[in-house]
Structure 1
Amino acid sequence: MSVAEPRRIVFFRHAKADWPQVTDHERPLADRGRMDAAVAGRKLADSGIAFDLALCSTSVRTRETWKLAVHELEHRPKTVYEERVYEAAPGDLIAVLNEVPDDARDVILIGHNPGVHGVTEILTGSSEGDARDRMNRRGFPAAAFAVVTFEGTWKSLEPGVTTLVDYWAPSD
C-alpha cells in the first residue's frame, strides 16, 4: 500500500453499559447496548469500509460491543485487544495509532469516552458536509462512531491532520 492512499480511522464508543456490582472494567452491556451495538455494526457494514485492523479496549463492554458489531460486517478484521485503550486520554490513543503497521489502511478503534470523543476532536482539522455539526450537537453517546481520513503514515498522525467524513449515533 502506498502511503499516499488515504487512510481511515473509525472511532467507535462502546454501547450502553449496565451498572452491576462489578469493577468498571468488568461492566457488561445493558440490553439497550446489545441492541445498539448490532445496529452500529450494520451501519458500519453499510459504510463499505473493509477494516484491516480493530483495536479494542480490554473492558467487557467494549469487547461485547465489538463482538456484536463485527458480526454484521462482511469481512472480520484482525482484532487486537489493547489494554492502553481502556480509560485512555486522546494523546494515549494517538500513540497507540502511531504504532499501527503501515500496511493497514482502515482501522477501527473501539474505546471509551471522554477519550474517543476527545481524540476525534483533536485529530480533526476539517470536516465534510454536516458531520462536525451533527457530532457537536449529539456529543459522543454510547455506540456512536466517527470516521476520519488522512494521508501519510501512521507515525505521521497528529492533531489537526484528519478530515471528519462521517458521524453516526443511535437514536434516543
Structure 2
Amino acid sequence: MTRTLLLMRHAKAEDGYGVMDHDRELTDKGRRQAERVGQLLTERSYEPDHVICSAARRTRQTLDGVLGAMELSPEVDYTEAAYLASADELLELVSYVDPGVRTVLLVGHNPAVAQVAASFVGSEALVAYSPATVAAVELEVEWLYTAPGTGTGSILN
C-alpha cells in the first residue's frame, strides 16, 4: 500500500510583537492561504485521514482553514512535540501513525518542515518553503519506516 505524507508549513502569521510565539495568530492573508491549500488538496484528490499538527495557535488555525475548505474531519493529533521539533523529531512523530492510515497531513514550522520536505523533494525545498507551502511525498514503506530515501515527492504550490 502506498502512503502519502503531506508536509505543510503554517500559513502567514502575525509578526508576534508583544505576543508569545506559541500564541501568534494567522493574518487575513494566512487565513486565505490555508483555504487555498485545502482547495488545492481537494483538486488533487488528497484526503488526509490522519493529521499531526503543532499545538501552536497559527498551525491550529492553518489546519482549520485547510480542513474547512476540504470539508473533512480526519483524526487530529495536536502535539507540543511538533512545535520546536527538528526534522528527525517530525519523522519520529510520523513513525507512530497507525499502519492502516493512508494519508497523513503534518502541519508544522520551519526550518524542520522544509528540512523534511527537502529530504524527499530535493534541496530546492529549503528555499521554496514559504508560509502555506505543502509537499506531497509518496512512500512505499509503513509509517514506522519513514525516513529520507523511502519515498519521492514534489512541492504542490
TM-score bracket for the superposition, by shorter chain length: over 0.9
Is 1:15 the counterpart of 2:11? The answer is yes
Check if 1:162 corresponds to 2:143.
no
Q: Report 1:91-170 matches (<5 A).
A: 91-122=88-119, 124=120, 135-136=124-125, 139-164=128-153, 166-169=154-157
Alignment partner, residue 6 of structure 1: 2
3-state SS of 2:14 partner: coil
1:58 aligns with 2:79: no
- TM-score normalised to structure 1 length: 0.85
TM-score normalised by the chain length of structure 2: 0.92
Deviation (angstroms), 1:26: 0.4
In the TM superposition, what are the counterparts of 1:12-51 in structure 2 within 5 Å?
12-20=8-16, 21-51=18-48
Cα distance, 1:88 vs. partner? 1.0
Per-residue CA shift, 1:2-49, capped at 9, x if unaligned? xxx100000011000002411110000011111111111111111111
Deviations along 1:115-146, one digit per CA (max 9) or x if unpaired, are 00001112x1xx6xxxx59x559510000000
Once residues 19 and 30 of structure 1 are traced to their aligned partners in structure 2, the CA distance between those partners, rounded to angstroms, is 9
Contact kept in structure 2, 1:45 and 1:74, CA below 8 Å: no
% same residue: 31
Q: How far apart in 1 are the matches of 2:105 and 2:156?
A: 14
User: Does residue 45 of structure 2 align to residue 87 of structure 1?
Assistant: no
**Count of matched residue pairs:** 156
**Partners of 2:144 and 2:67 in 1: how far apart?**
26
Any runs of at least 4 consecutive aligned residues in structure 1 with deviations exceeding 6 A, and if so which? none
Structure with the greater alpha carbon radius of gyration:
1
Q: Could you tell me how far apart the structure 1 residues matched to 2:126 and 2:15 are? A: 26
Q: What letter matches 1:39 in structure 2?
A: R
Separation in structure 2 between the aligned mates of residue 34 and residue 112 of structure 1, nearest angstrom: 16
Write the letter of the residue equivalent to 1:8. Answer: T
TM superposition shift of 1:62: 0.3
